[in-house]
Amino acid sequence: MKRNSPITHHPSPITSDLDHIYCIIMAGGKGERFWPLSADSMPKPFLKILGDKTMIQLTVERVSMLLPRDRIFIVLGKSHEAIAKEQLPDIPSGNFLVEPEGRDTAPCIGFAAISLQEIDRQALMIVLPADHFIPDSDHFVKAISYGAEIANKGDYLVTIGIRPVRPETGYGYINARKHVFSSESGTCLKVERFIEKPDAHRAQQYLEEGNYFWNAGMFIWKVKSVLSAISQHMPELNRGLLEIKKVLMADNEGSFAGIYSSLPRQSIDFGLMEKADNVLMIPGEFIWDDVGTWSSLLRVKDLDEDGNYCSGDIFCVDTKDSVICSDGLTVGTMGVSKVVVIASRDGVLVCNANRAQEVREIARLVEAKREKK
């Protein structure tokens, strides 16, 4: 029986200071805020939102500056396995870890951790989202390398924080100020607390105070450290992971799916990072954006003289500060500003640019209607 797990996979050893380091790329999200282009069949990581390459291809390219591709693993859903393998032909087939269903980031990371543990008992894992904008690859690699150095020093859960450049209300924040380690490679701070998305007033305060960082959702830790922390702070998930480990070793894919579907649906931030007292943070000195909405393209892409980002067969007249994209259709706009217009054969989105965070509501309404048919 075919098994999409690396339990029996043994990557070729490398003799360098990167021994025992692996990267996990999480590609299981739906990307509902990028409706109508992002859908269950083609979610955000597999779209060419930022140029000629898909977001997951760009992520793998960055990581490949640090690790060989047989040390890069992709966690994703079964329905996206084929497109992922097509887009990433250099990733070994056994390195695609297939979730029976999405259960948020805590089960995703736990599944990856027990899989790596069977390959290398000393494994250290770098965990990255598949769909972020990071044009400064050199400084990204420097920060990740320093994070791995810190994680190797002891029983630490290391995360990357981004220095805010604006009072952003769409990101979570990390409060960190006390220096724990410092060297020519970088600085490491003790995390005081994680903060949910703030309102505009608090976001401005965080920007001015200087000891608050954007939570980029990047993590570095020894596998044994994160599994120990899950055991302590997320006992229900820990029990499920132990059961999954047993059935995978027995090659029982049916039981695996049943157990996985019963795992608590919880983020790693809420379930673990907010509770643990051994969390450290590396300030990421690189440009970063999670490209979470259509309007975020106004920050990361080149704009025309009217402040618009346009893609496809577009004709704009008296249009300003807008995102206008078309996939296979001709689109014209006139006399509008600060709007998002996305046209495809799967649907058309028109919304105020300031409400792009809410597009997932449309995606869910569309999906609910389809399920009723």
At residue 29 the predicted structure's pLDDT band, cuts being 50, 70 and 90, is confident
Is residue 15 over pLDDT 70? no
Alpha-carbon span 24 to 315, nearest angstrom: 41
Given 284, 310, 333, the domain boundary residue is 284
* 321/256 same-domain check: no
Among 261, 226, 234, 300, residue whose Cα is nearest residue 99: 261
pLDDT at 14: 33
**Residue 10: pLDDT band by 50, 70, 90 thresholds?**
very low
Instruction: Choose one of 284, 306, 322: the last residue of a domain.
Output: 284
Question: Domain check: are 220 and 312 in the same one?
Answer: no
How many separate domains does the chain show?
Answer: 2
Considering the domain boundaries, does residue 336 fall inside one? yes
Residue 170: CB atoms within 10 Å: 16
Domain end: 245, 264, 284, which one?
284
Q: Are residues 257 and 298 in the same domain?
A: no
Instruction: Report pLDDT for 38.
Output: 85
160 and 198 fall within a common domain = yes
Quick check: is 13 in a domain?
Answer: no
Examine the domain organization and report whether 203 and 318 are in the same domain: no
Handedness of CA 206, 208, 211, 215 (dihedral sign): positive
Query: Residues 5, 97: contact at Cβ < 8 Å?
Result: yes
Spatial separation of the C-alpha atoms in residues 214 and 41, rounded to whole Å: 30
Same domain, 266 and 312: no
Neighbours of 111 (CB within 10 A): 27
What's the pLDDT score for residue 46? 95
Q: Has residue 15 been placed in a domain?
A: no
Q: What is the pLDDT of residue 253?
A: 74
Query: Among residues of the chain, what percentage have pLDDT more than 70?
Result: 95
Residue 348 has pLDDT above 90, yes or no: yes
Report how far residue 313's alpha carbon sits from residue 205's, in angstroms, rounded to the nearest whole number: 42
Confidence of residue 176 (pLDDT cuts 50, 70, 90): very high
227 and 298 both lie in a single domain:
no
Tell me which amino acid residue 295 is: S
Contact 363, 347 (CB under 8 A): no
- Domain match, 270 and 327 both: no
pLDDT at 2 over 60: no
* Confidence band for 3, pLDDT divided at 50, 70 and 90: very low
Whether residues 307 and 176 share a domain: the answer is no
- Taking only Cα atoms into account, the Rg of the chain, rounded to an integer number of angstroms, comes to 21
- Phi and psi angles of residue 354, each rounded to the nearest 5 degrees, phi first: -75, -10
- Whether 7 is covered by a domain: the verdict is no
Is pLDDT of 256 > 50?
Answer: yes
Residue 83 belongs to domain with CATH number: 3.90.550.10
Please, are residues 23 and 67 in contact by the beta-carbon 8 Å criterion?
Answer: yes
Q: What are the structure tokens assigned to 198, written together?
A: 């703030």
The predicted model gives 197-221 an average pLDDT of: 97
Domain that holds residue 363: 294-372
* Sequential DSSP letters for 257-308: HHHHHTS----HIIIIITT-S-EEEEEE-S--B---SGGGHHHHS---TTS-
**Domain-embedded: residue 253:** yes
Q: Taking all residues of the chain, what is their mean pLDDT, rounded to a whole number? A: 92
**What is the secondary structure of 112-139 as a DSSP string?**
HHHHHHHH-TT-EEEEEESS-B---HHH
Residue 307 has pLDDT above 90, yes or no: yes
Whether 8 maps to a domain, the answer reads no
Q: What is the pLDDT of residue 123?
A: 97
Contact, 356 vs 294, CB < 8 A?
yes
pLDDT attached to residue 90: 97
pLDDT of the residue at 18: 66
Work out the pLDDT band at 127, boundaries 50, 70, 90: very high
- pLDDT at residue 1 above 60? no
Angle at Cα 35 formed by Cα 54 and Cα 370, nearest 5°? 125
Q: What is the pLDDT of residue 12?
A: 36
Tell which wins on pLDDT, 4 or 179: 179
Contact 323, 353 (CB under 8 A): yes
pLDDT, tens digit, for every residue of 104-124?
999 999 999 999 999 999 999
Instruction: Please report the pLDDT score of residue 9 as a whole number.
Output: 37
Mean pLDDT, range 208-219, rounded to an integer: 97
Residues 262 and 301 occupy one common structural domain:
no
- pLDDT of 5 > 90? The answer is no
Backbone angles phi, psi at 312, to 5 degrees: 100, -160
Give the pLDDT of residue 235: 98
278 and 310: one domain?
Answer: no
φ, ψ for residue 97, nearest 5 deg: -95, 110
Residue 6 falls inside a structural domain: no
